[in-house]
Amino acid sequence: MTDAERPQYCESITPTKYNANPLLWLVSSQWKYVHTTRPELYDLRADPGETNNLIDQESDRATAMLDRLEGLLQLDTPPHQSARLAQDEQAA
């Protein structure tokens, strides 16, 4: 996989300032997966304005992107932080 093909990870923790969930993205050259309370998936080539959420129509792709996102987060999260994230998810 070349750097151009490698998905990019993005996050916004600003929503946590307002007691909302953070937004996490995984973006490739064609697809954008947004992990939040109601996940979103967009085909950026066909829908650059991100108006058509394909989460139901492309559930396999969404699951694969979520798995990749979770893998990236596990690599980058210290063990004590992982336990805290799991507790936060259970409390939600």
CB 62 within 8 A of CB 25: no
Give how far Cα 47 sits from Cα of 31, 77, 82, Å. 10, 32, 34
Q: Widest CA span of the chain, in angstroms?
A: 41
The one-letter code for the residue type at 25 is W
The predicted pLDDT at position 83 comes to 46
| Each residue's pLDDT expressed in tens, for the chain with a length of 92 residues | 555 566 777 777 777 778 877 788 899 989 999 988 899 999 999 999 999 999 999 999 999 999 988 888 776 555 544 444 554 455 55
Q: Give me the domains of the chain, ranges plus CATH numbers.
A: 8-91 (3.30.1120.10)
The predicted pLDDT at position 80 comes to 45
Beta carbons within 8 Å of 11's beta carbon, 6+ residues apart: 22, 23, 24, 25
Q: How far apart are the first and last CA of the chain?
A: 36
The predicted pLDDT at position 84 comes to 47
